[in-house]
Amino acid sequence: MLSKCIRNAWVYANAYYNRGNALQEIKQYEVALRSYDQAIALDPSNAEAFNGRGVCLEKQRKYQSAAPQYLKAIQLNPSYEIALFNLANSLQALENPKSALEYYLRVIEQNNNNIEAHINCANTLRTLRQYDQALVHYQWALALDPNAKFLRGMALHLKMMMCDWSNYDDELALLAQEIKSGQVTSEPFPILSIYNSLQYQLDLSSAYQADKFKGLEPIPWATKYSKKDKIRIAYYSADFREHPVSLLLAELFEKHDRSQFEVFAFSLGANTNDPMRQRLEKAFDHFIDVQHLSDADIVALSRKYEIDIAIDLGGYTAGSRSEIFQLRVAPIQVSYIGYLGTMGTPCIDYIIADKTLIPPQLSPFYAENIAYLPSYQANVSTREIATRSFTRSEYGIPENHFVFCCFNNNYKITPAVFKSWMHILKETPDSVLFLYAENQWVQSNLEKVALEHGVAKERLIFGQRLSTPEYLARYRVADLFLDTFPYNAGTTASDALWMGVPVLTLAGETFSSKMAASLLTAIDMPELITNTPAQFEHRAIEIAQNRALLSELKSKLKDNKGKAKLFDTLQFIQSLESCYLAMYERDLNDLDPMDLG
């Protein structure tokens, strides 16, 4: 009789477990949790039910509560591969990468063919800056499935971060072929730095959003918002911290016209509690931490506050939550500054740009309507600069040498860009190139390639990451900033110009390849914009060989800094606010979005 009761309990427990799985599939997470609880009450050794509870909690972004459920499942069944993998994912979401790595490696030890474990393990190793080991796991995953979603782009981007260009041309050709065939072979962000092709960007972004948003439909509106005395605008970002986007936008947030706008922040990222985070928390009328809320909860909260215009500052960059815009957090949704390209989705109504970045004839390559400003990039009117005096001697640079520099992220350096730089150095013997090295592999790889081009490695100077005030002060060592292509300098170009260092750029057709051209146009220095690699090289050599010309450029830059559009913060804010007002008026009058400006 007892054995029959035990058997019945097991049968009923299994039934409740299966019911929980079915409810989880249709996203009825709270009801599913109750079913798993009933399964566990009948069979406390049901590891699968504990794992199911963890999944339900994780789907609601309750990672702190999900992790103990997975741990319990693993205690009951130490070789439970799915629970080990899920626990690793939760620990990674809780920003505990070292512990996450331990569990990913346990999964791989049990099953070396688990491609997702290899990919997530690689992502975690990237977080830990163990790039060489991360690359091993990406390559293992590629060997298991060369067509895995996003994988080829992730692996190539990591190599670009290391300036590892082995098999670069072959990998680029294969990636291009896959993009043309409609495969989601990469996330959109990595290709900004390798292809000067609007068609590739539109094709990949469109395929990516179709895959990412599959099954997601906008949540119906209960009623249209009534007109308010103040338009409610909200900025959504994972980067409300020491980050280039926040450095550029902090003053905008502080100086929005409060007689016309009520300004919200929805923070999607961790609270770093650094000085910028503290500044931003005071800059908004409402600063709301939604990092641990589900997509549906963020949408519900945005609608509770009746946000009129939602500005996505992340796009397809790390930590962004593009799903919330697919669900519709606001009647008007805008992409600005974080992601430099089309998002390829109709859920974003406008992309903010200027006519240098997106000439009207190229607007068909953008899924969004174009909201044109006189000048695209927000800027601050003051910057803290360290009193530390950087000298050439501390970097081993002779005082009479010409110093080219580029402090862009290393993944923006392509073999073609570096080849141009090496040609410039060979034509200007008394010069050096000062670069930022984000990791230990950059210096060794670039020195090796320099030697292959016939340039002594001593002519490459490498600097590490500094605090923002010291990083700005370091520009005093440089003479001319050499831009990257096809992903130009953005914040770094503004920094160089602020510090009186001319920026030489090569402009292409994509948004990211016109960034520096936009900035140079806004500071009235179009003579530093080139259109071919040959022009770029010729101009760099000309400036390095003509100190009078360099002096003239620096003098003009100094004069323009105080009167041109680029650093006129208040003028920029007024232009942006006029744009927001135009968007709002169209929506209020039930008119579809259209190009503005």
308: tokens are 């009129």
Pairing of strands 369-372, 309-312: unpaired
Residue 539: name the closest of 490, 506, 517 by CA: 506
Least Cα distance to 416 among 537, 541, 545, 544 occurs for 537
**pLDDT tens, per residue, the chain with 597 residues:** 434 444 455 567 788 888 989 989 988 999 999 999 998 998 999 999 999 999 999 999 999 999 999 999 999 999 999 999 999 999 999 999 999 999 999 999 999 999 999 999 999 999 999 999 999 999 999 999 999 999 999 999 999 999 999 999 999 999 999 999 999 999 999 999 999 999 999 999 999 999 999 888 999 998 899 999 999 999 999 999 999 999 999 999 999 999 999 999 999 999 999 999 999 999 999 999 999 999 999 999 999 999 999 999 999 999 999 999 999 999 999 999 999 999 999 999 999 999 999 999 999 999 999 999 999 999 999 999 999 889 999 999 999 999 999 999 999 999 999 999 999 999 999 999 999 999 999 999 999 999 999 999 999 999 999 999 999 999 999 999 999 999 999 999 999 999 999 999 999 999 999 999 999 999 999 999 999 999 999 999 999 999 999 999 999 999 999 999 999 999 999 999 999 999 999 999 999 999 999
DSSP per residue over 188-212, as a string?
HHHHTTT---HHHHHHHHHHHHHHH
Report the pLDDT value the prediction gives residue 3, as an integer from 0 to 100. 47
215 Ramachandran zone, left/alpha/beta (phi>0; psi -120 to 50): left
Q: Which residues contact 180 (CB under 8 A, 6 or more apart)?
A: 200, 203
Distance CA 199, CA 222 (A): 38
Q: How far is CA 298 from CA 267, 348, 493, in A?
A: 10, 17, 35
* CATH superfamily, domain at 393-566: Glycogen Phosphorylase B; (3.40.50.2000)
Residue owning tokens 């600097």: 463
pLDDT the model gives residue 113? 97
pLDDT of amino acid 344: 96
Domain spans of the chain? 146-216, 231-381+573-588, 393-566
SS (H, E, C) 437-494: CCCHHHHHHHHHHHHHCCCCHHHEEEECCCCHHHHHHHHHHCCEEECCCCCCCCHHHH
- 231-381+573-588: CATH class: alpha beta
Is the model's pTM score more than 0.85?
Answer: yes
